[in-house]
Amino acid sequence: IQRIAVLTSGGDAPGMNAALRAVVLAADHYNIEVIAFRHGYQGLLDNEHVVLEPKDVLHVLQYSGTIIKSARCKLFKEDAAAITAAQNLDALSIDALIVIGGDGSLRGADHLANHWSGQVIGMPGTIDNDLYGTDTTIGYATAVNIAMDALDKIRDTADAMDRVFIVEVMGRYAGFIGLRSAMAAGAERMILPELQKDKPLTVSALVKHIHRVKEIRGEGSYVMVLSEHQWPGGAVALAEQLDAEYDLPCRPCLLGHIQRGGPPAPADRILASELGVHAVELILRGAHRVMAGMRANQCVEVPLNESWEKKNPLTENLLRIQHEIFNPVKKKQRNK
Which stretches of the chain bind ligand F6P, using CB under 6 A? 11, 72, 102, 126-128, 170-172, 228, 260
Q: 119 or 142: whose CB is closer to ligand F6P?
A: 142
Rounded to a whole number of angstroms, the minimum distance from the CB of residue 14 to ligand F6P is 11
Report the alpha-carbon distance of residue 255 to residue 101 in Å, rounded. Answer: 21
Quote the strand ranges of the chain, DSSP E: 3-8, 33-37, 49-52, 96-101, 119-124, 164-169, 189-191, 222-227, 250-254, 290-295, 298-303
Measured from the CB atom, the residue of 38 and 172 that comes closer to ligand F6P is: 172
Measured from the CB atom, the residue of 170 and 314 that comes closer to ligand F6P is 170
Which of 136, 127, 124 is CA-nearest to residue 98? Answer: 124
Q: Which amino acid is at 216?
A: I
Which residue number, 12 or 33, has a Cβ lying nearer to ligand F6P? Answer: 12
Among 128, 156, 243, 268, which one carries the catalytic annotation? Answer: 128
Cβ partners under 8 Å of residue 75, min gap 6: 41, 42, 45, 81
User: Min. distance of Cβ 25 from ligand F6P in angstroms?
Assistant: 26
**Does 128 participate in catalysis according to the annotation?**
yes
Q: How far is the CB of 121 from ligand F6P (least distance, A)?
A: 20
Q: Cβ 293 to ligand F6P, closest distance in Å?
A: 17
The smaller minimum CB distance to ligand F6P, of residues 16 and 34, is found at: 16
DSSP one-letter code for 3: E
Residue 177: CB minimum distance to ligand F6P, A: 8
Do the strands 119-124 and 222-227 form a parallel or antiparallel pair, or are they unpaired?
Answer: unpaired
C-alpha to C-alpha distance for 179 and 187, rounded to whole angstroms: 10
* SS3 labels along 156-220: HHHHHCCCEEEEEECCCCCCHHHHHHHHHHCCCEEECHHHHHHCCCCHHHHHHHHHHHHHHHCCC
CB 154 within 8 A of CB 165: yes
Q: What are the residue numbers of the active site?
A: 128
